Amino acid sequence: MMDRDHTIQISQTSSLRPVAVLVFTAKLVVASFLVAQASLLPASPVSEVYGLSR
């Protein structure tokens, strides 16, 4: 009984790893997309006031 519970815990832990990799990859893709969009936008007056113009 204990052996089966232990193998279930191991299989659940190992099945979470691909999910974590997928979530991390999706976050990287979204972050790079947002950076690309921000670099394409024209400088706003607010960013120029604070000295954030490129």
- The pLDDT value recorded for residue 13 is 59
- Round to whole Å and give the CA distance between 44 and 51: 11
Are residues 53 and 39 in contact, defined by beta-carbon separation less than 8 angstroms? no
- The pLDDT value recorded for residue 23 is 96
- The pLDDT value recorded for residue 16 is 84
- The pLDDT value recorded for residue 1 is 47
22: number of CA atoms within 13 Å, CB side?
A: 5
- Round to whole Å and give the CA distance between 39 and 34: 9
- Round to whole Å and give the CA distance between 6 and 13: 11
pLDDT by residue (tens digit) across 5-53?
Answer: 665 666 655 678 889 999 999 999 999 998 888 777 776 666 666 666 5
- The pLDDT value recorded for residue 35 is 87
